[in-house]
């Protein structure tokens, strides 16, 4: 995937790439079925998108790797 959809607060509410777009709910369900469903690759540094839980609510994030360009927050908006 190449982009993330953010709301006005900057929260990730979807994922998208060339010719496709998934809501946060679709992405969470897909990741729960297949942990390798989504990944981000920037400058040959790849990380998987994963589901985190904060205050009982799901959120989308990338696996930590100390390389910010492949973080969902740093991707272009859908």
Q: How far is it, in rounded angstroms, from Cα 27 to Cα 38?
A: 8
Domain extents in the chain: 3-64
pLDDT of residue 15: 97
- Asked whether the predicted pLDDT for residue 34 surpasses 90, the reply is yes
Give the number of residues written for the chain. Answer: 78
- Give this prediction's pTM: 0.90
Contact, 49 vs 72, CB < 8 A? yes
Q: What percent of the chain has pLDDT above 70?
A: 100
SS3 content of the chain, % helix, strand, coil (to 5): 20, 45, 35
Question: Which residues are CB-neighbours of 56 under 8 A, at least 6 positions away?
Answer: none
């Amino acid at each position: 995937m190449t982009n993330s959809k953010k709301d006005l607060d900057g929260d990730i509410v979807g994922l998208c790439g060339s010719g496709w777009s998934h809501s946060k709910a679709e992405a969470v369900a897909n990741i729960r079925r297949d942990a390798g469903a989504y990944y981000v690759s920037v400058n040959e540094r790849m990380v998987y998108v994963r589901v985190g839980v904060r205050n009982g609510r799901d959120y989308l994030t990338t696996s930590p790797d100390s390389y910010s360009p492949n973080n969902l927050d740093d991707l272009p908006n859908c």
